[in-house]
Amino acid sequence: MNPIGFERLTHYYGTTMALDALTLEVPAGCVFALLGRNGAGKTTAIKCLLGFLPPTRGRARILGHDAAALPPGVRNRIGYVAEGQRLVPWMRVRGLVDYQRASFPRFDASLCAAHLRRLGLPERRRVLHLSRGMRAQLALALALAQRPEVVVLDDPAMGLDAVVRREFLDVMIDLIAEEGSTVLFSSHILTDVERVADRVAILDRGVLRVDAPLDEVKRRVLRYHARFEGEAPPPPPLPGLLRARRRRNELVLTVVDGEASVEPACTELGARAVEVEPLGLEDLFVDYTAERGEGAQ
Amino acid sequence: MAFLRIDPSGAGPVFQQIVDHVKRAIATAQLDPEDRLPSVRELAKELVINPNTIARAYQVLDAEGITYSRRGAGTFIAAHKPVVKGEERRRRFREAIEAALADAFHTGVSEEEARRAFDAALKRFRFQEER
Amino acid sequence: MRPAYLRELKELSPVIVLLVATGILAAANLTGPMVRQFDDMLVFPICAGLGLGILQGLLDRWRRDDLFSLHRPVAAVRMETARTLAGATAILVGALAFVVTHRLATLVELADRERFSQLLVIGDEPEHLGARAIGLLTSLFFAAWAVARFAAGLARIRWVLPALVLLPLAAWSLLSRVGSMPAASVAALLLATLFALGSGLVLAGDRR
């Protein structure tokens, strides 16, 4: 059984829908990136997965258990960094580490100490006096010191500078190489996601739009540039058209699985040349989730 | 190993970029048979990408016979043996040439320039004697 | 549960200080014949404290944002128990301060009442009340607040517990005061008690 699974998970905040029948699986050892614009439902999904929000319908499954009725002992095997990494503001770093060690039987104190040494965190400083970057790194170090089977990170890189983000990636790479843990994380830093994710999912206003290996997504979603003699015509109706833009003599179309259909359709409209442009994850994401262009679905 | 630059946002899957780079490095004598490639973890940390991607690239290289792995010791460059049959080899080569020339044509390269570039590359690469 | 209890206790240390102050001031001013002087005035800070405590308890229920602390391999009930035990410890320490001061006051009475009174006692007549009364009233407010928060915590464990704590308190205060208090004060106290009980039950409906 996969360590993480969502089965038609639906959640409403009052009358506002946050998640609509979300269904996806995260296989063991996979690094899974959950993407979406602000308010798309990523944090809701993660909170449901950790049992902090009851689902309205459907369920979330973690390590084989129903997330809404998670036996406390299972939390021992799950490393979690919540959004904002608040921790306990008034505690000192040393006290916080001791608190974690006392609460989690699997806690590896020497591993944690090694992390903290590398980070150069002063033991006696209070958490609220740490910079945001240090707090984030501390939160991650604490979660990983549990030696968890599953790691769930909710926007771990939020508000962090490039250097700290790079260190984060470094830590994650070590984690993947050594422990083979399953990782589910949400992020807005798509260039970072591109480096480490095995699979990605895109949430758009509570609805799952994409769930596939990263390589496959990049292979199947391409941008086509059709050049015309004169004014570019309105885009042709294409299945899988995500976004269309018109620029004087050019029609720029982002299409899923368009190898067979785009070129003939554009040629029919009078295009002189059709060029294919592979997309980086950020461009891909924007075309998937931005305002619909003319003629797009 | 020679300076390896991969572009996670760029064209082509990252594992393929690595495979292509290793192949090119062998062909241009930057890597010799029996040279050891960096471990999956080392390379992952250096390039800042998922170790699974590196592992996949190494698997592909192993499968194509370009490298071989020894447990605990690492991944090494294999002695160069053309594994592709003659006819297939020639077909692939012709296709690659045509693709490159088409590119050159569209970017406005002259025939003379193309020929000169071809000769220069020939000198850099290390080809086997005609058999 | 021990690390959770210790952590909650540490977090409550400012509250403990306030409760100790309450205990001392209350013992110095509200025992014996002095109590009757302050009757009317006492009701309001107590009701306000209760009200604020209940309100915070309700807000806590909806906030639930301390995910870091919630994600622990310990049953939620045990976490709440640790928190409530810490609260009980705080209240007990305050009560202890009350008892100790009361004992001391009795002892001092025999020796040096003059000096003792000037330190802690606010005044013999309500007309004497001034700035120093604020200390007493504020501390009563906090005492009521602490009790209300404690009750809210209890509700999260077992819904009957707040009833067991608050009912006797409410009954005692009503029965011992009703004769001498104006109707408004009685009504306010009644309302506060009912509100506390009702909220406790509502809170109990949301157990995680």
CB contact (8 A) between residue A282 and residue B9: yes
How far, in whole angstroms, is CA A268 from its chain's centroid? 39
Asked whether residue A296 is domain-assigned, the answer is no
Q: What is the pLDDT of residue A297?
A: 41
Contacts of A74 in chain C (CB under 8 A): 73
What is the chain A residue with the closest CA to B55?
A: A177
Same domain, A119 and A27: yes
pLDDT of res. A142: 92
User: How far is the C-alpha of C107 from the C-alpha of A214, rounded, in Å?
Assistant: 80
State whether A239 and A114 are in the same domain.
Answer: no
Residue of C nearest to A143 (CA): C68
**Lowest mean pLDDT, pick from A102-106, A285-289, C28-32:** C28-32
Could you tell me which residue, A203 or C121, shows the higher pLDDT? Answer: A203
Enter the DSSP assignment of B129.
P
Q: Do A19 and A121 lie in a common domain?
A: yes
- Judge whether A279 lies within some domain: yes
Put simply, whether the predicted model's pTM sits higher than 0.90 gets the answer no
Q: Give C6's pLDDT tier (boundaries 50, 70, 90).
A: confident
Range of the domain at A262: 219-289
Q: Are residues A177 and A95 in the same domain?
A: yes
* Secondary structure letter of residue B80 according to DSSP: P
Percent of chain C at pLDDT > 90 equals: 0
SS3 label, residue B26? helix
Amino acid at A252: V
Average of pLDDT values for B61-83?
80
Which 3-state string (H, E, C) describes chain A?
CCCEEEEEEEEEECCEEEEEEEEEEECCCCEEEEEECCCCCHHHHHHHHCCCCCCCEEEEEECCEEHHHCCHHHHHHEEEECCCCCCCCCCEHHHHHHHHHHHCCCCCHHHHHHHHHHHCCCCCCEHHHCCHHHHHHHHHHHHHHCCCCEEEEECCCCCCCHHHHHHHHHHHHHHHHHHCCEEEEECCCHHHHHHHCCEEEEEECCEEEEEEEHHHHHHHEEEEEEEECCCCCCCCCCCCEEEEEEECCEEEEEEECCCCCHHHHHHHHCEEEEEEEECCHHHHHHHHHCCCCCCCC
* % of chain C at pLDDT higher than 70: 38
pLDDT band at A89 (very low <50, low <70, confident <90, very high): confident
Rounded average pLDDT over C56-68: 64
Q: From chain C, pick out residues whose CB is under 8 angstroms from the CB of A52.
A: 64, 67, 70
Per-residue pLDDT of C24-34, as tens digits, reads 777 766 665 55
C105-155 tens-digit pLDDT: 666 665 555 555 555 665 555 555 555 566 667 777 777 777 777 776 666
Contact residues, chain A to chain C, C-beta under 8 Å: 47, 50, 52, 72-76, 78, 80, 82, 85-88, 90-91, 98-99, 102-105, 139
Same domain, A53 and A195: yes
A137 and A256, same domain (yes or no): no
Instruction: Check whether residue A146 and residue A179 sit in a common domain.
Output: yes
Q: Which residue among B40, B48, B52 places its CB closest to the CB of A198?
A: B52
Q: Are residues A142 and A95 in the same domain?
A: yes
Contact state of C67 with A50 under an 8 Å Cβ cutoff:
yes
> Can you give the pLDDT at residue C115?
58
Q: Which of the pair, C198 or B94, is modelled with greater confidence? A: B94
The partner residue sitting opposite B13, judged by closest CB among A174, A197, A218, is A218
> Does the pLDDT value for residue A293 go beyond 50?
no
Query: Do A29 and A174 sit in the same domain of this protein?
Result: yes
Domain count, chain A: 2
Which of the given ranges, A46-55, A114-123, A124-133, B98-107, has the highest pLDDT on average? A46-55
In a domain, A295, yes or no: no
**Are the C-beta atoms of residues C29 and C122 closer than 8 Å to each other?**
yes
Amino acid C206: pLDDT: 44
Same-domain pairing of A140 and A241: no
- Could you report the predicted ipTM of this complex, rounded to two decimals? 0.80
Domain boundary among the residues A181, A205, A229 is at A205
Task: Choose between C115 and A175: higher pLDDT.
Answer: A175
* In the predicted structure, residue C171 carries a pLDDT above the cut 70: no
For residue A125, tell me if it sits in a domain: yes
User: What is the band of B106 on the pLDDT scale with cuts at 50, 70, 90?
Assistant: confident
Size of chain C in residues: 208
Residue A69 has pLDDT above 80, yes or no: yes
Which residue matches tokens 């296709």? B95
Cβ contact, residue pair C75, A99, below 8 Å: no
pLDDT confidence of B131, banded at 50, 70, 90? very low
pLDDT (mean) for A64-70 = 91
Residue C121 is predicted with a pLDDT of 63
The mean pLDDT of C59-77, rounded to a whole number, is 71
Q: Is A275 inside a domain boundary?
A: yes
pLDDT band at residue A260 using 50, 70 and 90 as cut-offs: confident
> What's the token pair of residue C141?
């407010």
Most confident of A209-218, C48-57, C176-185: A209-218
- CATH number of the domain at A234, please: 3.30.70
pLDDT tens per residue across span A204-219: 999 999 999 999 999 9
Mean of per-residue pLDDT scores for chain A: 89
- Kindly state whether residue A147 falls inside one of the protein's structural domains: yes
Q: Per the domain annotation, does A103 fall within a domain?
A: yes
Mind listing the domains of chain B with CATH numbers? 14-77 (1.10.10.10), 86-124 (no CATH)
Buried b (16+ CB within 10 A) or exposed e, A90-127: ebbbebbbbbbbbbbeebeeeebeebbeebebeeeeeb
- Does A236 lie in the same domain as A180? no
Give the CA dihedral B56, A184, A88, C12, nearest 10 degrees. Answer: -140
> Most A CBs within 10 Å: which of C5, C15, C68, as the mutation test of the A interface?
C68
Contact exists between C and A (3 or more beta carbon pairs < 8 Å): yes
Q: Confirm if C93 and C20 have CB atoms less than 8 A apart.
A: yes
A30-34, B3-7, B8-12, B36-40: range with highest mean pLDDT: A30-34
Residues A25 and A152 in one domain: yes
Instruction: Select the residue of A176, A194, A278 nearest B11 (Cβ to Cβ).
Output: A278
* pLDDT band at C205; cut points 50, 70, 90: very low
Q: Hey, is B20 helix, strand or coil?
A: helix
Question: Which of A205, A228, A263 is at the close of a domain?
Answer: A205
Of the candidate ranges A54-63, A262-271, B39-48, C126-135, the one whose mean pLDDT is the lowest: C126-135
Give the Å distances, CA to CA, from A83 to A44, A140, A194.
11, 12, 21
How far apart CA B97 and CA C30 sit, in angstroms, is: 101
Decide which of A205, A239, A270 is a domain's last residue.
Answer: A205
